[in-house]
Amino acid sequence: MEFIKTDIEGVFIIEPKVFNDARGYFMEAWKQSEFNEKVGRVDFIQDNESKSSFGVLRGLHYQKGNTSQSKLVRVIKGRVLDVAVDIRKSSPTFGKHVMVELSEENKRQFFIPRGFAHGFLVLSEEAIFTYKVDQPYSPKTEAGIRWNDPALGIEWPIDFSKVQTSEKDLNQPFLKDAEVFD
């Protein structure tokens, strides 16, 4: 696997080595020892999966305090635009984001450490999205930032009128009003 550093410290794009032949392909999707060496030790405890259709935008989500999560995300079917926003107030990249396209073709993975809001937009007719987390979901500490906050400068590649999102995500606070990490 190739671990590609991004413009924000701690956020990585991971490109697996894919072996294709007439039968299909083979790849290592996860290897703890290599991850520990390149990124650092993260003890993932749970795998989650979602299925969404074109235009679905999930995010920008995070959990506060001791329940914050690191995530390793990838797409099994389809294509998504994945975004991580630095919400660590003391970080020199506070409010900045990293965006990467994840697809069944490129098989990339995206590592998002604690202290980041995360979201994705489905670009294909359908997408199956999977992610590892290092903390269980905690409804009491869940939080979010408005996906279309102009201060974030995220250039979502579809018309906002075609975005499908939850009522909760439509009403998330802007970054300036959100409870963020110190």
Query: C-alpha distances in angstroms, 22 versus 18, 28, 169?
Result: 13, 18, 43
Task: Provide the pLDDT for residue 99.
Answer: 98
Contact 117, 60 (CB under 8 A): yes
| d(C-alpha 120, C-alpha 113), whole Å | 16
pLDDT tens track for 54-78: 999 999 999 999 999 999 999 999 9
Domain boundaries, the chain: 44-177
44-177 CATH: 2.60.120.10
Which ranges constitute the DSSP H helices of the chain?
A: 32-38, 167-170
Task: Provide the pLDDT for residue 40.
Answer: 94
Give this prediction's pTM. 0.94
pLDDT > 90: percent of the chain: 98
Residue pointed to by tokens 């995530």? 71
pLDDT tens track for 13-37: 999 999 999 999 999 999 999 999 9
pLDDT at 182 over 90: no
Residues identified as active-site? 61, 131
